[in-house]
Amino acid sequence: MKQTKLLRLELNEVPPREFRIFPYGVIETTKGIFIFDDRAAEQVMAAWRDYGNDLVIDYEHQTFEPAGNGPVPAAGWFGLELRNDGLWAVNVRWTERAAEALKAREYRYMSPAFEHDDEGRITRLYNVALVNFPATKAMEPLAAGGKETKEHVEGGSMKGLLKLLGLGDGASEAEAAEAVSKLKDTAQQLEKLTGKQNTEEALAVVMAWKEGAGQVEKLAARVKELEAEQRKAELSALVQKGLDEGKLTPALKDWAMTLSKEALEAYLSAAPQIVKLGKEVEPGKEGVAALDGKKWEDLKPIEKHNLYLENPELFAALKADYEARKGGK
């Protein structure tokens, strides 16, 4: 990651023996915004080394859009070099015609022809052309006059860079430098954490971790659901056992379901038999269903006991009826 700072470039040598083609960062043009970063630099240099030839400087991109059927003359030849502030054309050899045109200020700017990916990242440089109407904004002139200087923000236009960093147009140089430094630190930490050599691979690892973590969360949630279902089934079996053994009444069922398995087992092991104290009912009939319209005075003590536990409202009503009839005699 390159430091962002303000430079004053002396542009006195005409024609220049070297010049910068792309600064690091955001490059604003009339055809869109493009990116030249470390990844772009690697791809551009790899493509040039694979090509194995000097690159050509032509006039007005005539290499790709010839004006007629005649020859397409070169204005010069150059190689590439990566520096701290971007990609440079080096060992530039101008033709006599081009050198005279630059000295006479007939041409002032250069325009690169390049490929880029879907994100706007530059991936290959084909050549540069001498032009007077470049698509790149805030272009550094090849042919400056006298002691002309130009303020330039390394890494592309300051406005575009601030936008990329999430800063407002009024942010200072120091704020921009701090933001870039934080990005650099974050990228280094990410690469160290994942053991990868570049940020792109590190991000891919993090995405895999994130996907894996999401699957783990889903599995953990399902395990909890299964544990809850198992707990409910075990409690239901214990509650039914308590009801069958007469150690739980129906009124205590909901309460019992709130206990842990261990707590309910402890309760049932210590609880007395409070419901089924005997078999004083007709075969096939139990509890309240065995009363068959009996009055209070017809009930045996065990029937009153079971009635009190199973249906306290009916118990109270029969008793009240009995007391009312008894008092009316």
Q: Is 297 exposed, middle or buried (0-12, 13-18, 19+ CB in 10 A)?
A: exposed
- How far apart CA 152 and CA 3 sit, in angstroms, is 14
Residue 10 banded pLDDT, cuts 50, 70, 90: very low
Percent of the chain residues topping a pLDDT of 90: 30
Give me the count of residues in the chain.
Answer: 329
Across-strand partners of 19?
89
Across-strand partners of 150?
9
User: Residue holding tokens 């006039």?
Assistant: 59
Mean pLDDT of 276-305: 61
- How far apart CA 174 and CA 74 sit, in angstroms, is 43
Query: What pLDDT is stored for residue 210 in this prediction?
Result: 76
Which of 7-11, 45-49, 213-217, 278-282 shows the lowest per-residue confidence on average (mean pLDDT)? 7-11
Decide if 22 contacts 156 (C-beta within 8 A).
Answer: no
Tell me phi and psi for residue 281, to 5 degrees: -125, 165
Decide if 4 contacts 156 (C-beta within 8 A).
Answer: no
- How far apart CA 207 and CA 205 sit, in angstroms, is 5
Give the pair of three-digit tokens for residue 286.
Answer: 């139990």
Residue 309 banded pLDDT, cuts 50, 70, 90: confident
- How far apart CA 35 and CA 58 sit, in angstroms, is 24
**Dihedral of the alpha carbons of 215, 220, 225, 226, in degrees to the nearest 10:** 100
Q: How many helices and strands in the chain, by DSSP H and E?
A: 9, 10
Residue 117 banded pLDDT, cuts 50, 70, 90: very high
Q: What is the CA radius of gyration of the chain?
A: 45
Please, what sign has the CA dihedral across residues 116, 120, 125, 126?
Answer: positive
Chain-centroid distance of CA 210 in Å reads 8
Residue 329 banded pLDDT, cuts 50, 70, 90: low
Mean pLDDT of 205-227: 78
| Amino acid (one-letter) located at 184 | K
| Domain assignments of the chain as residue spans, ordered by start | 6-182, 215-270, 287-328
Residue 58 banded pLDDT, cuts 50, 70, 90: very high
The angle subtended at Cα 81 by Cα 79 and Cα 84, nearest 5°, is 160
**C-alpha pair distances (Å), 151 with each of 26, 34, 108, 175, 242:** 17, 21, 17, 18, 89
Mean pLDDT of 98-117: 93
